[in-house]
Amino acid sequence: MYKIAVIGDYDSIYGFATLGLSICPVKTTEEARDKLRQLAGGKYGIIYITEAVAAGIKDVIAEYQEQTMPAIIQIPGVSGNTGAGVEGVKKTV
């Protein structure tokens, strides 16, 4: 069975732990790059990532865009909604 993870700043993602998702708080762009690659190579079918973090690692996210798994989905964080997540879903559909 595949798991679901959330990457982002701690304040934006800590609530997802109550839903049983794996939370992966990151502080730097380099941490985010490493964590995304680690999760994508593991048993994660869906990886949610905050829009603010995703903005800094677009190149890594692009590596996985053509693959069916994992699905990498941008979500708004505590800093607000930039619209990038909605735009990404529209583009994929």
Say if residue 90's pLDDT is above 90: no
Q: Which residue has the tokens 């680690």?
A: 38
Which helix (H) or strand (E) segment holds residue 47: the answer is: strand 44-50
Whether 11 shows a pLDDT value over 70: the answer reads yes
Overall average pLDDT of the 50-73 stretch: 92
The band of 83, judged by pLDDT with boundaries at 50, 70 and 90, is: low
Mapped onto helix, strand or coil, the DSSP state of residue 79 is: coil
- Mean per-residue pLDDT over the chain, rounded: 88
Task: Decide if 42 contacts 60 (C-beta within 8 A).
Answer: no
Q: Quick: pLDDT tens for 20-32.
A: 999 999 999 999 9
Dig out the tokens for 93 from the structure.
Answer: 């559909």
Spatial separation of the C-alpha atoms in residues 90 and 8, rounded to whole Å: 22
In the chain, where do the E strands start and end? 3-8, 22-25, 44-50, 71-75
